[in-house]
Structure 1
């Protein structure tokens, strides 16, 4: 396995993070499984060397001693002497999920860590399904938080909810144009806006590019949200604010990420697949798509940057601060 096994580990792959699992624990578990796979290969046969051993002369009755050339194994490189060949791997984590959330979590191994920064600089959108529950409010917007208020919700209808979601999407689309600093008077910028290709050129507040209701059965409702620069707490707060707009209250019972950039749930490895061969295969399958999508999106970002003029600085200001310290190798 050795160097050949490590060579096939450079790149990006997606995992499915279950709720209740911290992203650091997931990363450390993946690292442990990869190290176990890399060190599980059969060690090569030990090298032989010639040594002269002292022994009696055959057939001698006088118990004479002589030196005899003998081939013996060299044990300096034996795993029981040297220890495991691989003791740590550098693994980076992309856009994080908090402990309560679940869904697609992208990891980068080796040189793939630099691709995580490229993903961050490309300002790709992410998809979530967000479960809401009408009729109560908590201190942290989560269903299991400390209850602070209970309300009625009989007056809430699907039409009222859809109307509020349309208002939210419209206001965020205006904010997206503002944070992109585009001059929509130019034809190129207008065409990008029509195609939905406008992106902020730097860090911004949470921006929602699309939101709709997938299921409505009071007190429960399910939203699909496309957004960027979000945190899961902000998504839970969004559910709370929707409840207030509906003249009631609402809490978030679950947040699940279904897409992170060009990785979807179909790409995400389940916990039973966090082994060396499955991860190697996932990296190799994703590599061509990762290269093509990053090239396209980063070129799009640079093209948008040119619309601002020579004084604008955006996507290439250095590594993402959100990625600093997200490498494994024994330390978080």
Structure 2
């Protein structure tokens, strides 16, 4: 493969991680597929992993190839939200919040209704919305910051606990229920624990039977390559298909983050420049 073909391998793309597969094994599998192409330029071509999924979880996993690995840092810095579907089962508790964990307790759940669940979810979203404002360091007295809050665009620009920006019930058929959760700075274990805590709020118990990420920032299930598509040409096509969108979205979100804060973050001087590798890469790919 010539230099033009190699250049098409620098960027971001998404894969669908099945449950039971560790992210390290997935990354190594993709890397091996790329290294099957003979040539010295490919021996140092590395694959980076974005927001990780644990072994039990499934869904959208973003990977960066070559210079595209820098964009994974930009994705972290943009503090983009992710969407999950989270499936729960009422009536039992386990030691790890998972359906197949060691059983700790069994409870009745006949008193649980859709209305009661919806009220709990509304309380959760309200408390997390207050936390989001607190961690954003925004001065809500300014018109710009107020408009950002109304449009749901405020984000923390530093580390924070898991923040839920949206949560709703998609399906309720006791003992099963299905939630859609929009969040940031989460781990999949925290989402499973959330199901457990919802059960306690409902005066019963519950475990998590599935965590599936359906969106990571600007990558959705429609963008994610299935395992049969983890080959050189499919990956090249996916990177090229996403390249302009990736650059535009990262630039928009990073500039948004640097522009709306009224106070510099701890250790961050007023005149610091924001990350620029997203649009730098776009410029490089045009040549």
TM-score in terms of structure 2 length: 0.91
Asked if 1:103 is matched to 2:59, the reply is yes
CA distance in 1, matches of 2:79, 2:23: 21
Q: Tell me the equivalent position of 1:323.
A: none
Whether the 8 Å contact between 2:84 and 2:214 is mirrored in structure 1 is yes
Check if 1:266 corresponds to 2:222: yes
Q: Which deviations, in whole Å up to 9, do the C-alpha atoms of 1:232-270 show, x marking residues without a partner?
A: 000000000000000000000000000000000000000
- CA displacement, residues 246-297 of structure 1 (integer Å, 9 cap, x when unaligned): 0000000000000000000000000000000000000000000000000000
Partner of 1:31: 31
Alpha carbons of 1:99 and 1:318: their partners in 2 closer, same or farther (altered >3 Å)?
Answer: farther
**Shift of the alpha carbon at 1:86?**
3.6
Given the alignment of the two structures, is residue 146 of structure 1 paired with residue 97 of structure 2, yes or no?
no
Structure 1 runs (4+) deviating above 6 angstroms are: 316-319
Cα deviation for residue 5 of structure 1 reads 2.5
How far apart, CA to CA, are the structure 2 residues paired with 1:168 and 1:111? 39
Task: State the match for 1:57 in structure 2.
Answer: none
Runs of 5+ in structure 1 lacking a partner? 40-82, 320-332
Kept in 1, the 8 Å contact 2:47–2:64? The answer is yes
**CA distance in 2: counterparts of 1:150 and 1:225, whole angstroms:** 26
Kindly indicate whether residue 151 of structure 2 is the aligned counterpart of residue 195 of structure 1.
yes
The separation in 1 between residues aligned to 2:256 and 2:127, in whole angstroms, is 24
Per the normalisation by structure 1, the TM-score is 0.79
**8 Å contact 2:82–2:215 — kept in the other structure?**
yes
Distance 1:89 1:266, change over 3 A: same
1:113 Cα deviation after fit = 0.5
Q: Distance in 2 between matches of 1:127 and 1:274?
A: 23
Give 1:185 deviation, angstroms.
1.2
Partner of 1:75: none
Deviation at 1:317, TM superposition (A): 10
Corresponding position of 2:281: none
C-alpha displacement of 1:309 = 5.1
For 1:215, what is the secondary structure of its paired residue?
A: strand
The 2-side partners of 1:141 and 1:317 are apart by 43
Structure 2 gaps of 5+ residues are: 276-287
Mapping of 1:221-300 within 5 angstroms?
221-300=177-256
2:268 is aligned, of 313, 327, 331, to 313
Structure 2 counterparts to residues 113-132 of structure 1, below 5 A: 113-132=69-88
Q: 2:8 aligned with 1:12, yes or no?
A: no
Change (3 A) 1:163 1:112: same
Report what 1:301 is aligned to: 257
Cα separation, 2, equivalents of 1:317 and 1:143: 47
CA contact (8 A) 2:16 2:226 kept: yes
Instruction: Give the aligned partner of residue 56 of structure 1.
Output: none
Q: CA deviation at 1:3?
A: 2.8
Aligned length in residues: 273
Number of the residue aligned with 2:282: none
RMSD, matched Cα: 1.9
Alignment check: 8 A CA contact 2:144 2:260 kept: no
